[in-house]
Amino acid sequence: MIASDAAKAPLIELRDVAKVYGAGQAEVRALDGVNMRIDDGEFVAIMGPSGSGKSTAMNMIGCLDVPTSGQYLFRGVDVGALTRNQRALLRRNYLGFVFQGFNLLGRTSALENVELPLIYRGMRMRDRHAQALRALHRVGLDGREHHTPAELSGGQQQRVAIARAIVSSPAVLLADEPTGNLDTAKSREIMELLRELNETEAITVVMVTHETEMAAYAHRIVRFIDGRIDTDQTSPAHAA
């Protein structure tokens, strides 16, 4: 679906994107003329108060929504012009998702949770077992593959969720408040893991967070206010 020469285009580009809900006096402009570019290999944190548009921007980037006006381009492809099925294929083949609530299947082992995206791809059982085990090893969960979520700590559950997100080698990892349910020590462990994946596996990371300490792990911090980008700056931790 993504042409080979599209690799020369920005990975993610929002061009004057607006998202409007409702009409008349009930109209809400969740995004109001947003322009943003994210290149391969970046680690970007998106911040802002409640209702600022950061979650809508994440949904847009994750192909869960389309602009009311403007364009969202993924490797030069206009996502808004794709059919629903084509957007689903883009999500499946290029995007990985990590959520605040882990979203693991409760009665299913860590290995089986991680295998889910590969089942949707129709991969053979032996191959998906091996690939899921590699992903669990990558996030430091060797020996935990047969544990259910109830047998794992919160930090371990989030590691399973990250393994599930990276098992299909996505171009982009979208993390929505990935440390929101964790204590400070576990939050730092998860952020170190995301930074390591970004640096060693060249996975582009786009993360929504309200925590300044966690945002500091990113290369860039983009702050939204009232549906618009207020600032887009290099993280202080990465400033020259």
pLDDT in tens, the chain (240 residues): 565 455 578 999 999 999 999 888 888 899 999 999 999 999 999 999 999 999 999 999 999 989 999 999 999 999 999 999 999 999 999 999 998 888 899 899 999 999 999 988 888 999 999 999 999 999 999 999 999 999 999 999 999 999 999 999 999 999 999 998 889 999 999 999 999 999 999 999 999 999 999 999 999 999 999 999 999 998 877 765
Instruction: Kindly list the domain boundaries of the chain, sorted by start residue.
Output: 12-238
Compute the distance between CA of residue 119 and CA of residue 212 in angstroms, rounded to an integer: 37
Candidate CATH numbers 3.60.20.10, 1.20.58.340, 3.40.50.2300, 3.40.50.300; the one for domain 12-238: 3.40.50.300
Q: Give me the residues paired with residue 46 across strands.
A: 208, 222
| Intra-chain end-to-end CA distance of the chain, in Å | 38
pLDDT value at residue 175: 95
Compute the distance between CA of residue 69 and CA of residue 92 in angstroms, rounded to an integer: 25
**E-assigned strands of 11-121?**
12-21, 28-38, 43-47, 69-74, 77-78, 95-99
The pTM (predicted TM-score) of the whole model is 0.91
pLDDT value at residue 116: 92
Q: What is residue 142's three-state secondary structure?
A: coil
Structure tokens at 128: 């998906």
What is the DSSP secondary structure assignment for residue 182, as one 8-state letter? S
Q: What is residue 198's three-state secondary structure?
A: helix
